[in-house]
């Protein structure tokens, strides 16, 4: 999910003007943050506040413009519009500006919508299970009586990634000759995506119970990853975008599963997990190890993303500005932001599930307990560079490699002044593909999916299965109560036939 407006670890100052912000450095608490929030809310029409997000976009835009004016004073001369020119600033004042962009001008406005589902949800509950201590297997699979193994794989550029294996179903048996399937999560998530729901509903458990040898991947930057020489506190640890996931993480996971099982591998990718697979396949990677690929809520072209918050972020270069300010990690569970959101979620009349809808579209079929399970297993970090890359794709409407902004830097990395594109038409026509998308998805918009399907128009008819669910939004594919009947059972049938 592209929730990159929501959570940034922050410190804020109560200020009366941006000039005052420049001349002072005061560490403030939650009261001051909410005071600033109230100042922004006062800009809106309180008689019909937040009944419709589209009505409040001018408020968001005004906040963005105000913050832009402030940042321009700090970053005058930087080429915002043509790309990114990374500048390291030593001023401690700069590190506080992101709060005004994200935590106040966007998130708090959205959280004030009112109750849409008639439910109250505690955001990132302290009572929630933290799988980072015990591992995903011990905390989430073994309690349901599934055999689960923890594995690690090293990428070509030194990252160490966790893999979980569920070799057999609840009834036991042997993993010999079971076809392997690799599950790849989306952005700001990890392998828990596939085992959040109970047996009979989670895709990983369903596949294991239906005779598959299930492997769960975890991308770099998640709690299930590390590096041979770098620490997450090092800027270099976060110097990557999804290009690297396609060229390093995914091939490493495929090679490991292929080597362990001696079989070609089925693949299921959700959201960004579909993007990296499409990119790799367009470069003719993975083909010797791939048996079939299933893409759920596929991210590919992004020019028509309809989430207004995501569009505001991309069109106003928010990720670029934060990257310029020295934010390398995009950490969605920073302590200050988490505390702020918890406090707000406890206020009467505020529905904290609404922020999910604001980003992902109107999910049709998820209930309170499922959302709570998702929030309890906290979102994972990505890199700010990855957020910049995705923003570039939204503005340009292309599937291209990361744009360094400066021609010389692009030439240094790619041998040409502009980043190369991933050509979806280059995906071999005989690769078995299962593609499932939803009509209410604000991140994998129908128009963008149709562009992808147009690129695949020459694909062998008997090798391409397309499923469209009109009322599904982005989270329904992994959290819907009826996902088994709507998506997973047809998916299992597809894999079984390959």
> What is the per-residue DSSP string for 250-276?
HHHHHHHHHHHHSS-EEEEEETHHHHH
Say whether both 261 and 359 belong to one domain. Answer: no
pLDDT score, position 459: 97
User: Is position 2 within any domain?
Assistant: no
Ranges 56-65, 264-273, 327-336, 354-363: which has the least confidence: 56-65
Residue 92 pLDDT exceeds 50? no
* 485 and 429 housed in the same domain: yes
Strands 382-383 vs 290-296: parallel, antiparallel or unpaired: unpaired
pLDDT surpassing 60 at residue 96: no
Instruction: Using DSSP, state whether 145 is helix, strand or coil.
Output: coil
| Same-domain pairing of 268 and 344 | no
More confident residue, 332 or 433: 433
Q: Pick the catalytic residue from 297, 455, 474, 476.
A: 474
CA distance 422 to 68: 32
In a domain, 4, yes or no: no
What average pLDDT does the segment 61-68 reach? Answer: 50
- Please state, in angstroms and rounded to a whole number, the distance separating the CA atoms of residues 436 and 446: 11
For residues 203 and 299, state if they share a domain: yes
Note whether 281 and 427 are same-domain residues: yes
Return the pLDDT at 351: 56
- Residue at a domain's end among 346, 372, 396: 396
pLDDT at 72 over 70: no
The helix (run of H) or strand (run of E) holding residue 62 is helix 53-74
Lowest mean pLDDT among 294-308, 336-350, 390-404: 336-350
**Selection from 473, 442, 322 nearest residue 9 by Cα:** 322
Number of domains composing the chain:
2
Give yes or no: 271 in active site: yes
Taking all residues of the chain, what is their mean pLDDT, rounded to a whole number?
77
Beta carbons within 10 angstroms of residue 255's beta carbon: 16
3-class DSSP state of 467: strand
**Predicted TM-score of the model (pTM):** 0.78
Q: Given 396, 431, 465, which residue is the final one in a domain? A: 396
Please give the average per-residue pLDDT across 186-201, as a whole number: 93
User: In angstroms, what is the C-alpha Rg of the chain?
Assistant: 22
Residue 25 has pLDDT above 90, yes or no: no
- Domain span holding position 237: 131-304+410-497
Question: 17-31, 215-229, 338-352: which has the highest mean pLDDT?
Answer: 215-229
- Please report which confidence band the pLDDT of residue 91 belongs to, taking 50, 70 and 90 as the band edges: very low
Q: Residue 312 — pLDDT band, cuts 50, 70, 90? A: confident
How confident is residue 343, by pLDDT bands cut at 50, 70 and 90? low
- Closest by Cα among 468, 442, 421, 472 to 304: 442
- Neighbouring residues of 115: CB distance < 8 A, sequence distance ≥ 6: 349, 350, 351, 354
Asked whether residue 402 is domain-assigned, the answer is: no
Determine which one of 441, 445, 448, 476 is catalytic.
Answer: 441
Q: Which of 352, 370, 396 is the last residue of a domain?
A: 396
* One domain for residues 194 and 337: no
Dihedral (CA of 36, 38, 40, 42) sign: negative
If asked whether residues 146 and 281 sit together in one domain, one would say: yes
Closest CA to 332 of 456, 198, 189, 454: 189
Measured distance CA(441)–CA(6) in Å, rounded: 19
Q: Are residues 56 and 170 in the same domain?
A: no
**What per-residue confidence (pLDDT) applies to 61?**
52
Q: Is residue 117 part of a domain?
A: yes
**161 and 64 in one domain?**
no
Same domain (yes/no): 297, 310: no
| Residue of higher predicted confidence among 19 and 266 | 266
Instruction: Report yes or no on 118 lying in a domain.
Output: yes
> By mean pLDDT, which of 109-123, 271-285, 314-328 is the weakest?
109-123
CATH code of the domain containing 257: 3.40.50.1820
Q: What is the pLDDT of residue 48?
A: 38
DSSP state of 400: B
- Kindly state whether residues 194 and 272 are assigned to the same domain: yes
Whether residues 83 and 230 fall in one domain: no
Residue 25 tokens read as 């450095």
271, 292, 300, 391: which is the annotated catalytic residue? Answer: 271
Q: Determine the pLDDT at residue 260.
A: 97
| Distances, alpha carbon 396 to alpha carbons 256, 378, 389, 400, 425, in Å | 35, 31, 11, 9, 19
- 201-228: per-residue pLDDT in tens? 999 999 999 999 999 999 999 988 999 9
pLDDT recorded at residue 324: 84
Catalytic: 441?
A: yes
């Amino acid at each position: 999910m592209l929730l990159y407006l929501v959570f940034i670890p922050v410190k804020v100052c109560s200020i009366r003007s941006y000039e005052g912000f420049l001349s002072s450095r005061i560490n403030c608490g939650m009261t001051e943050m909410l005071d600033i929030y109230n100042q922004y809310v006062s800009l809106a029409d309180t008689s019909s506040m937040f009944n419709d997000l589209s009505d409040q976009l001018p408020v968001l835009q005004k906040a963005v413009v105000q913050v832009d004016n402030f940042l321009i004073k700090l970053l005058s001369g930087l080429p915002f519009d043509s790309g990114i020119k990374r500048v390291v600033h030593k001023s401690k004042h700069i590190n506080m500006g992101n709060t005004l962009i994200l935590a106040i001008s966007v998130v708090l406005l959205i959280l004030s919508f009112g109750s849409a589902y008639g439910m109250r949800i505690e955001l990132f509950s302290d009572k929630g299970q933290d799988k980072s201590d015990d591992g995903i297997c011990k905390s989430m699979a073994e309690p349901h009586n599934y055999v689960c193994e923890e594995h690690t794989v090293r990428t070509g550029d030194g990252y160490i990634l966790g893999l979980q294996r569920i070799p057999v179903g609840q009834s036991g048996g042997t993993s010999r000759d079971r076809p392997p399937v690799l599950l790849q999560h989306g952005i700001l998530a990890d392998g828990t995506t596939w085992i959040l729901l109970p047996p009979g509903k989670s895709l990983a458990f369903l596949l294991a119970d239906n005779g598959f040898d299930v492997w769960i991947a975890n991308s770099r930057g998640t709690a299930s990853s590390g590096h041979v020489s770098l620490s997450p506190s090092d800027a270099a640890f976060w110097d990557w975008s999804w290009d690297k996931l396609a060229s390093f993480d995914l091939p490493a996971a495929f090679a490991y599963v292929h080597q362990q099982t001696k079989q070609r591998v089925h693949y299921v990718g959700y959201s960004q997990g579909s993007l990296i697979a499409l990119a790799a396949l367009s470069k003719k990677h993975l083909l010797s190890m791939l048996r079939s690929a299933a893409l759920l809520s596929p991210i590919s072209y992004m020019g028509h993303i309809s989430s207004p918050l995501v569009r505001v972020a991309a069109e106003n270069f928010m990720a670029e500005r934060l990257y310029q300010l020295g934010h390398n990690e995009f950490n969605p569970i920073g302590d200050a932001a988490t505390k702020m959101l918890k406090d707000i979620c406890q206020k009467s009349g505020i529905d904290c599930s609404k922020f999910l809808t604001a980003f992902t579209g109107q999910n049709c079929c998820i209930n309170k307990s499922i959302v709570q399970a998702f929030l309890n297993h906290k979102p994972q970090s990505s890199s700010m560079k990855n957020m910049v890359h995705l923003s570039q794709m939204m503005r340009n409407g292309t599937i291209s490699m990361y744009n360094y902004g400066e021609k010389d830097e692009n030439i240094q990395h790619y041998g040409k002044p502009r980043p190369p594109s991933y050509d979806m038409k280059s995906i071999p026509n005989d690769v078995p593909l299962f593609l499932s998308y939803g009509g209410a998805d604000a991140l994998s918009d129908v128009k963008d999916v149709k562009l992808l399907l147009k690129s695949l128009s020459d694909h062998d008819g008997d090798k391409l299965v397309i499923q469209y669910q009109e009322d599904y939004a982005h989270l329904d594919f992994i959290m819907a109560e009826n996902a088994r009947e709507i998506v997973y059972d047809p998916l299992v049938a597809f894999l079984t036939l390959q």
